[in-house]
């Protein structure tokens, strides 16, 4: 559907925009420190009668400065690979605060575990490999509970169409592996995906506690992420207070029935940082395809910084920074030589176009893309068409702007190429 109202800048003002462009040009990521800290405080307030650990899903944005800030506030780390775990260690994160939950078994698993990093087995093969290397130790397991939630199949990480985790019907097999290697399964991990349906999320929590009953040594239940942040106006957002109260009641009931106090872990990524990010770009050209066609705004950014619209039709607020009062319908196109590099896909049919009502633009105007804190700088078609990585800047609570990642150079792109 066409946006019925114009989006506004979230945390930047026109002076901020001018200051960023004056120092870094465009395109530039800017993150708001105040919003990130507010979101962390909300997550830390999640109700858990027997203890809570909040783990930041660092794949959302792994910049070391962000990792350190979250860590200083008492947030641990969810690493999606051995490489991410190494990156967190190099950022100064305490090894015991890092939990690896990955599709691929880290090649340096032994080194990481010996340093104190925790491991979450996501398949029977991973559990077998871990047990052979570390018999007689504690281990975490990820279970696919048989259901999931997400705005598309590409964001749904639970259910029969998902390869994430050990299928819930294979409890006997994983117990056999644990017995073989004398492993103590002390954490159960589940994750249903990135959706906003609280009923599905709550149901997954209840199913997970039923699985905890079959694993007598489990003391920690990790319910993963799936906390949806509303990026556009009117979009549904996960209400942590509603979910946490139900989960807390379920944990209390489980204790009343079993005498087992289960510590809760959650792994927000998007929730902590998505709306704390803006991408400042310049409109470098405006073209149209005739009376019955479209008017396109071409910007100096695109899938090299923000792949989500191309990948699965994600919708991001778009704001033309101008003093003009007129509005116009536009398609916003990225700078890559790909027809799919579009910032305004149809939300219901991602491979189709949908115009967006924006302020009437001129060449040289600034266009700000909002809601880009998560899964943008870290998940994009980096260096396609040899475009350099964009810089990243933090707007501090005092209003100052601090660079946390500089713009890449062409020379840096070429460093790994061999001369033959």
- Number of structural domains in the chain: 2
Residue 110 shares a structural domain with residue 60: yes
Both 178 and 193 in one domain: the answer is: yes
The residue among 220, 243, 268 that closes a domain is: 268
Residue 206 has pLDDT above 90, yes or no: no
Work out the mean pLDDT of the chain and round it to a whole number.
92
Asked whether residue 112 falls in the same domain as residue 221, the answer is yes
Q: What whole-number distance in Å separates Cα of residue 45 and Cα of residue 403?
A: 30
Q: Which pLDDT belongs to residue 359? A: 97
Mark whether 197 and 299 lie in a shared domain. Answer: no
- 268, 296, 311: which is the final residue of a domain? 268
Does residue 9 fall inside a structural domain?
A: no
Confidence (pTM) = 0.93
Residue 126, pLDDT > 60, answer yes
Does the structure show a pLDDT above 60 at 194? no
Q: Environment class of residue 56 by beta-carbon count within 10 Å: exposed (0-12), middle (13-18) or buried (19+)? A: buried
Indicate if the pLDDT at residue 149 is higher than 50.
no
Both 199 and 72 in one domain: the answer is yes
pLDDT reported for residue 155 = 41
Catalytic residue, candidates 122, 336, 337, 376: 337
**In the chain, what is the straight-line distance between the N-terminal and C-terminal CA atoms, in Å?**
53
Residue 419 lies in a domain: no
Q: pLDDT above 70 covers what percent of the chain?
A: 93
CATH number of the CATH domain containing 177: 3.20.20.10
Tell me the pLDDT tens digit for each residue of 228-245.
Answer: 888 988 787 888 888 888
The least confident of 13-17, 109-113, 141-145, 414-418 is 141-145
Q: Which of 211 and 147 is assigned the larger pLDDT?
A: 211
Shared-domain flag, residues 296 and 226:
no
- Mean pLDDT, residues 194-220 taken together: 81
Of residues 178, 366, 408, 363, the one with CA closest to residue 278: 366
Query: Is 337 a catalytic site residue?
Result: yes
Clarify whether residues 47 and 146 are in a common domain.
Answer: yes
Are 85 and 174 in the same domain?
yes
| Domain match, 296 and 155 both | no
204 and 279 housed in the same domain:
no
Residue 5 lies in a domain: no
pLDDT, tens digit (0-9, with 9 covering 90-100), for 325-336: 899 999 999 999
**Domain annotation covers residue 3:** no
- Judged against a pLDDT cut of 60, whether residue 349 lies above it is answered with yes
Q: Side-chain half-sphere of 140: how many Cα atoms within 13 Å?
A: 24
Three-state DSSP at 379 gives coil
Interatomic CA distance for residues 46 and 367, integer angstroms: 36
Query: 227, 251, 268 — which closes off a domain?
Result: 268
**For residue 321, pLDDT beyond 70:** yes
How would DSSP label each residue in 101-124?
--SS--TTHHHHHHHT-EEEE-SH
pLDDT computed for residue 375 by the predictor: 97
Residue 1: inside a domain, yes or no? no
- Bigger pLDDT: 161 vs 18: 18
Is pLDDT of 1 > 60?
no
CATH code, 309: 2.40.37.10
Q: Is residue 239 part of a domain?
A: yes
The verdict on 288 and 375 lying in the same domain is yes
pLDDT tens by residue, 277-318: 999 999 999 999 999 999 999 999 999 999 999 999 999 999
The DSSP code sequence of 61-107 is ---HHHHHHHHHTT-EEEESSHHHHHHHHHTT--GGGEEE--SS--T
Same domain, 283 and 213: no
On the question of pLDDT at 159 being above 70, the answer is: no
Report if residue 320 sits inside a domain: yes
Per the structure, the complete domain to which residue 239 belongs is given by 33-268
What are 31-64's pLDDT values in tens digits?
999 999 999 999 999 999 999 999 999 999 999 9
Q: Give the pLDDT band of residue 163 (cuts 50, 70, 90).
A: confident
pLDDT at position 13 is 96
Q: Give the residue-averaged pLDDT of 365-386.
A: 97
Predicted local distance difference test score (pLDDT) of residue 4: 43
Q: How confident is the model at residue 145 (pLDDT cuts 50, 70, 90)?
A: confident
For residue 348, name the pLDDT band (cuts at 50, 70, 90): confident
């Amino acid at each position: 559907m066409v946006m019925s109202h114009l989006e506004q800048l979230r945390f930047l003002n026109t002076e901020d925009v001018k200051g960023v462009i004056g120092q870094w040009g465009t395109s530039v990521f800017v993150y708001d420190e105040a919003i990130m800290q507010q979101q962390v405080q909300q997550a830390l307030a999640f109700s858990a009668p027997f203890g809570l650990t909040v783990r930041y899903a660092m794949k959302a944005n792994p910049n070391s400065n962000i990792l350190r800030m979250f860590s200083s506030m008492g947030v641990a780390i969810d690493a999606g690979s051995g490489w991410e775990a190494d990156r967190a260690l190099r950022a100064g994160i305490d090894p015991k605060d890092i939990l690896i939950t990955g599709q691929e078994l880290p090649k340096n698993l032994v080194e990481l575990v010996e340093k104190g990093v925790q491991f979450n087995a996501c398949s029977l093969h991973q559990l077998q490999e871990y047990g052979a290397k570390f018999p007689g130790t504690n281990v975490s397991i990820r279970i696919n509970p048989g259901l999931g939630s997400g705005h598309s199949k590409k964001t749904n990480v639970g259910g029969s169409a998902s390869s994430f985790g050990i299928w819930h019907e294979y409890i006997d097999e994983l117990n056999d592996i644990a017995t073989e290697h004398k492993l103590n399964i002390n954490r159960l991990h589940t994750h249903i995906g990135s959706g906003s349906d609280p009923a599905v999320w709550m149901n997954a929590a209840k199913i997970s506690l039923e699985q905890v009953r079959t694993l007598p040594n489990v003391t920690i239940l990790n319910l993963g992420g799936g906390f949806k942040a509303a990026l556009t106006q009117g979009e549904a957002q996960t209400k942590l207070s509603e979910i946490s109260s139900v989960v807390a009641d379920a944990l209390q009931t489980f204790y009343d029935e079993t005498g087992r106090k289960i510590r809760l872990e959650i792994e927000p990524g998007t929730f902590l940082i998505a709306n704390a990010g803006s991408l400042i770009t310049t409109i470098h050209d405006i073209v149209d395809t005739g009376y019955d066609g479209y008017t396109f705004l071409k910007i100096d950014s695109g899938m090299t910084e923000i792949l989500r619209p191309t990948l699965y039709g994600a919708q991001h607020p778009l704001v033309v920074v101008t003093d003009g009062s007129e509005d116009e319908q536009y398609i916003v196109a990225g700078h890559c030589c790909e027809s799919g590099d579009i910032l305004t896909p149809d939300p219901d049919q991602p491979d189709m176009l949908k115009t967006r009502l924006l302020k009437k633009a001129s060449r040289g105007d600034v266009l700000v893309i909002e809601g880009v804190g998560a899964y943008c700088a870290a998940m994009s078609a980096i260096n396609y068409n040899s475009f350099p990585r964009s810089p990243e800047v933090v707007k501090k609570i005092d209003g100052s702007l601090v660079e946390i990642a500089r713009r890449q150079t062409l020379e840096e792109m070429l460093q790994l190429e061999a001369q033959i």
